[in-house]
Chain A
């Protein structure tokens, strides 16, 4: 039976207590996207600034549980300054780490992101996730997966909108 230490790793609690990149950005030039978890009322607001092919800045607002907040905080640290292509690939990697159950939970819930579908995660790519790998334990608590993926789905939606605006 999974224990709390699988869920509430020290890194996660650190990001929860001291969230990175909290705040807002001027829109425009940044883009504002909201995500909701209808189950528990968690909400996330992302301010995404895309310059050229780079996510040059990202700020996080909203409120939620330790898992959704720490996931958003780690995400913000991981994607800032990366190219849009790298960020998209990171979203895919993260979501496939979470996909073991989410494949079922998400049935029919289109979130605007093209699903990688495969589900299977190459263990070597978990290393690319850095701190984010700490969220792996969430998979053992299926109802919390939605908390962990909320900010990532919101980011994917934001990038789609930014791409649409630019293209």
Chain B
């Protein structure tokens, strides 16, 4: 596995945050200013990184530093700071390419978030290649971001949508995969479920999909922040992820696709930057990836995302994943010991098959009430349907409370959750 150089260019050299694969969580926590604050006089216990992570000082400083020293529009000015801005924006793209194992930086398109990346594929590749009677295969555990763009296109183009079911073990049921793939042009699959934590066997699905002549779109929103991503080894043809879930700023995400796909796809949004020539009676498009980046892009956000990648790479994603596996096993064990049958966790029991996302039901306390009571202890969890309503129907619950872990969480955070659950039990029963 190649690793990128960590130097962000500024600031003191990073003290090691991991030794022999063990994270120094106390030191990591200290890198995140927001984790130092209190709510209701209690320590902030942030367990909602699956919705959006927090940012280390290195990311905030990189963005400030960019604005304080460099900002100008990219790909336009010929003066020094404009060239610098362009260089820093394109450097961020190269960092992303290395981070996800892309063939080259030209395969990386900056978008607003993963939702936009998926819509881009649906509206360009999808509109060109999918028509009446064509099938798209999704899974029952997709986020609305990988459902609604296809429902929209299905309505417009008369597509058939099929779904890989979720089994009783919270894993995808692949027993009918061959039959479901018949006539399918695209498979859209999340690498990790944002509700169940399930890690899907995407390489296996991709192999079968390619055998059936279908392309594969991977939603990496819950994967790339936590597990070393190698898009080509995963067998994806399209792949998206979102910056704000991996220590980066909001407003930036990426679409990766194989170069030849990007070349032949029509443009998405029209405007400046995405053209090579414009006449009053027509236009021709810019080269990839800029063909898909109409208008002034999120430049400071790209710089921030680059700094987030540097931060994560310096620690090493393998160490991050090992930490999350250990913390998730601790959580599953300690919460079950403490709360027994009062607590239900929707997701695979085997930590090798799951990420650090715990969807909880505690006694009969509604998820909203649960997260409200937890909030009073400074514990932040998400309550609701997590933008996966079809999956919630499948689970037979209107909502769950979801706790999710990242590199800055530790056993004390899990213990705070266990304690706060007990408080909620006392209040309602």
Contacts and interface: CB of A to CB of B under 8 A. Distances in A.
A147 B373 contact: no
B427 A8 contact: yes
Interface in A30-69: 39-43, 63-67
B398 A40 contact: yes
Interface string A1-22: 1011001100001001100000
Given A1-B40, A63-B398, A41 B392 contact: yes
Nearest to A7: B372
Contact of B398 (A1, A64, A67, A141): A64
Contacts, number: 47
B372 A40 contact: no
A144 B385 contact: no
Interface string B359-381: 00000001111001100100000
A42 B369 contact: no
Contacts of A13: 427-428
B398 A66 contact: no
B171 interface: no
B389 A41 contact: yes
Interface string A134-150: 00000001001001000
A3 B39 CA distance: 12
B206 interface: no
B149 interface: no
B383 interface: yes
B372 A4 contact: yes
A42 B398 contact: yes
B101 interface: no
A4 B428 CA distance: 12
A13 to B, nearest CB: 7
Nearest to B368: A65
A13 B399 CA distance: 20
Contacts of A65: 366-369
Interface in A90-139: none
A66 B366 contact: yes
B384 interface: yes
A50 to B, nearest CB: 29
Contacts of B372: 4, 7, 141, 144
Interface in B317-375: 366-369, 372-373
Nearest to A64: B366
A16 B368 CA distance: 14
B369 A40 contact: no
A40 B373 contact: no
B389 to A, nearest CB: 7
A3 B372 CA distance: 10
B40 A40 contact: no
A77 B142 CA distance: 41
Contacts of B385: 40-41
Given A13-B428, A40-B368, 8 more contacts: A16-B428, A17-B428, A40-B398, A40-B399, A43-B398, A63-B398, A64-B398, A66-B369
Interface of B: 40, 366-369, 372-373, 376, 383-385, 389, 392, 398-399, 427-428
9 contacts: A7-B372, A17-B428, A40-B368, A40-B398, A41-B392, A66-B366, A66-B369, A67-B368, A141-B372
Q: Which 3 A-B pairs have the closest CB atoms?
A: A65-B366, A41-B398, A65-B368
